Chains A and B, each alone.
Chain A
C-alpha cells in the first residue's frame, strides 16, 4: 500500500504520541528517583530535578532490598527453569503425538490459562497451607509454574510444530533413539522458542504481586514487587526511594530483554500464524 505524504506524516505523529504516552511514566519514575525528598511535589512541577541526587538510591539499596532481590532471583529463576523444561517436554509431545487424547489435553491447557489469578488464588492458598508450604520459596515457585505453564506450552508448541519432522526422521535413521533425537536435534533447533518462552516467564514472575503478597508473611521471604510496598506507609509515601527501588527492579529485566529481543521477536511470531 502506498501512502501520501500527509498520511505518512499523520502516522509518524501518531507513533510519536503513542511512544510518549508509553515512555512518560518511565521517564517520570527516573526523574522522581533523582529528586531530593523535598522536590517531588514542588509547584510548579519540574520535569527534571534542578539538582539531581543519588541519595534515594543509597537509602533504597538497604539490606532488605538485597534480600528481596535475592528472593526474586531465586523464585523467578527456578520458575523459569522448571516451566521451560516442563513446557518443552509437553510441547514436544503435543506437537508430535497423534493421539486424540492429546488434542483434548491441549484444549484443557488452553482453558487452564483463562482463569484469572484472583479466582484461583484462594484454592491454591488453601492447598499451600495444607501442605505446610506457606512463606516458602516452594509455594511461590509452584504457583508461578502453574500459572505460566499453559502459555509456555502454547508458545513452544507453536514453535515446534514448524520444525520439519524430516530432521527427526533423518536422525532416527542415522541411528539416534528418541531421547537422542530430542536432545541432539529438537532442543538446539528450539532454542529461539525456548529463549522467548523463558523471557515471558521471567517477565511475568518478576513483577508478580498477588501471589507473592499472599503467600509470604515475613520480610525474609518477600520478593521485590511486595518489597516496594515498604515505602508506602501509614502516614505517607516516600516517593523518591520508591521510584529509585522501581528503577533498580526494572533494570535487570530491561537489560535481559534488550539482550534477547531478537530471539523474542522470532520466537513469538514463529508458529503464531499457521504456516
Chain B
C-alpha cells in the first residue's frame, strides 16, 4: 500500500504531446479513476506509473520514493491489462503463481497463496485449465487473481472491463469495487466509460488533450463540472449545453430567453442536466422546441428536442411520451443551472 505522486509529468511521442505538466497526488488506499476519451493521455499516465514507458520530464513518487529510474519489475505493483495478457502456455494456476515463482517463493507456500487468490475471484475450481479454455469473464478473474496474489503496493487497471459484455461488466464492476475495498490497496483505474468511473471511483481525474480537466469525487464532478468538456462528458446522456448571452439578469439565446437573477452579464454557455428538465404547459415554458425523438426507457422517457439549432436531451416522466416533430414546451429547474464562460469554457462560479 502506498501513495502515488506525479509531479510536472510530461510525455511527448515525436511531435505529439501525450501529457502536459500533470500533477496528481493519490492517497493511500484510494480508488482513483483516470477518465477521458481515447488519446487523452490516460493510458500513457498509467504506463508511466507502471514503468512501461518513460516520461519525457517530471517525477513519479510511489510511497514517497522517486521511482523514475526503477524498472517496472522492481516497482512492486500489479497491472491488469485490457486484453488480460494471460500467458497462453501456462495453466490458470501457473498464471496466478508466476509473480510468486519469480520471487522464488517455495512450492507449498506458492500453491497455498495461488489457491487463496483464486478463491477470492471464485476460480479455485479451474486452476488446471489453460486461458484458451476460459470465457472472457473467467480470464478477467484470472488476471485479477494474478494481480492480487502477491499483495502489491499498487494496482493498475487498464480498461479491464471493456472486453466484457454489458451484463458481465456490471457484475465484475461490483466485484472489483468490493475486492478493492477489502484489500484496501491503492488502485489506479483507466477507463473511457463514465459510468464505470462514477460507480468505482473514490476520486475521478478527467483528462482531455493531455491535460487534467477536473479532479474530484464522482458526486462533486457531477454536481459541479469545472468546464464544458467535463459537463459534456459526464452523465448519460450528458449535460445539455446551450450557447447564449446574459444581459441584465436575462439569459438570451437563439429562440428565447430565461430569467437568471444575479448572474453577471456576458457571453455564456448554459448547462442543464437532462433530469433537471421537464415538460410543462405552454404558458410556463422556459424554452420552446420541437421533438426530435422520444424513447420510453421504462423508468423514464428520454426526449430529444431541437431548441433552435441545439439538440437537447430531457429525462421526463414515463407517461410524457411525445410524437416526433410536435412542438414541446420545456421547463427548467432554475436552481440547477450551470454557467460556463463562452470563450474559455470554464465554470463561471469556480472562483467562489
Contacts and interface: CB of A to CB of B under 8 A. Distances in A.
A177 B73 contact: yes
Interface in B72-89: 72-75, 77-79, 81, 83, 85, 87-89
Contact of B52 (A167, A169, A176, A180): A169
Given A167-B87, A169-B52, A189-B88, A174 B102 contact: yes
B180 to A, nearest CB: 18
Contacts of A177: 73
A171 B98 CA distance: 8
A34 B11 CA distance: 74
A171 B52 CA distance: 11
A202 B103 CA distance: 39
In this complex, which of A170, A172, A188 has the most chain B Cβ atoms within 10 angstroms of its Cβ? A170
Contacts of B39: none
B146 interface: yes
A185 interface: yes
A174 B71 CA distance: 11
Of listed B72, B77, B146, residue having the most chain A CB within 10 A:
B72
Interface in A157-172: 164, 166-167, 169-172
9 contacts: A164-B85, A170-B85, A170-B87, A173-B73, A174-B73, A174-B102, A174-B146, A176-B73, A189-B88
Contacts of A174: 73, 78, 98-99, 102, 146
A164 B82 CA distance: 12
B81 A171 contact: no
Given A166-B81, A169-B81, A175 B87 contact: no
B159 to A, nearest CB: 12
Interface of B: 50-52, 71-75, 77-79, 81, 83, 85, 87-89, 98-99, 102-103, 146
Contact of B71 (A166, A172, A185): A172
A164 B83 contact: yes
A166 B52 CA distance: 10
Given A169-B52, A170-B79, A175 B85 contact: no
A175 B100 CA distance: 9
A180 B89 CA distance: 15
Given A166-B83, A169-B81, A175 B99 contact: yes
Contacts of B87: 167, 170-171, 184-185
Contact of B102 (A164, A167, A169, A176): A176
Given A164-B83, A166-B83, A180-B102, A173 B89 contact: no
A188 B99 CA distance: 17
A169 B89 contact: no
Nearest to B78: A173
B299 to A, nearest CB: 40
